[in-house]
Amino acid sequence: MKVLITGGCVFLGSTLALYLRERGHDVMVMDNLVRRGSESNIERLQEHGVAFVHGDVRCVEDFTGLPPGIELICDASAQPSVVSRYTNPIFNLTNNKLGVIHVLEFVRERRCPLIFCSTNRIYSGDRINALPRRESATRLEWDSAAWRNLPAGSRPPGFDPEYAVSEEFSLDGAGRSIYGVSKLMADVVCQEYAGAFDIPVIVNRLGVISGAG
């Protein structure tokens, strides 16, 4: 399969590119290299047979030169910092919303599927923090006993102490950060395009990502 990964030189995108390449897929990454250190991944990607295109998802012109035959897009492009953008919320909102719209227009025109890398920050921190939890020796954990003791009518849908939050959990509320708001906007746009234009879209609401590299 011929795969394009936008934001492909940062941690998530480059790791995914190498994972898919190792499984025999034809992988290309597109990145604007604005995030410091992302350029250091180019050589490693190319050594593994991953093609690199210097482009910015906010610039629709950068999509016109992409080769034909792309069968799947994974959009991992974003301004990912939760705490650094309160001084310039417009940048955060524009960067993470406009880019995904250009990606969606690309897949709409070419009828190829999209995997969009969303985030669990789209859920309200106020609502998440209201769920019953307890403090263990090393971490906070969901409190199953307290959950069972809640009246059935006061238990918010979309949560289970064993499986945590699902896609049915409410998107209302505040406390998600400007970053979370920007990703929520993109998340909803992906859902709207999927329904309006019959585009196969998977929205993956990722949590904290870590690992080598």
- What residue type is assigned to position 142 of the chain? W
pLDDT tens for each residue of 152-206: 999 999 999 999 999 999 999 999 988 899 999 999 999 999 999 999 999 999 9
pLDDT tens for each residue of 62-88: 999 899 999 999 999 987 676 665 777
Question: What is the mean pLDDT of the segment spanning 46-73?
Answer: 95
Q: Is 72 helix (H, G, I), strand (E, B) or coil?
A: strand
What's the CA gap between 40 and 55, in Å, rounded? 16
Cα dihedral sign, 180-84-43-69: positive
Fold of 2-123+176-206: Rossmann fold (3.40.50)
Cα dihedral sign, 19-81-199-29: negative
Query: Which pLDDT does position 88 carry in this prediction?
Result: 77
Contacts of 167 (CB under 8 A, 6+ apart): 158, 205
pTM of the model: 0.90
Higher pLDDT, 93 or 128: 128
Query: Which pLDDT does position 83 carry in this prediction?
Result: 67
Residue 140: pLDDT band (50, 70, 90) is very high
| DSSP character at residue 46 | H
Query: Which pLDDT does position 68 carry in this prediction?
Result: 92
Q: Spell out the domain ranges in the chain.
A: 2-123+176-206, 125-165
Least confident interval from 91-100, 108-117, 142-151, 180-189: 91-100
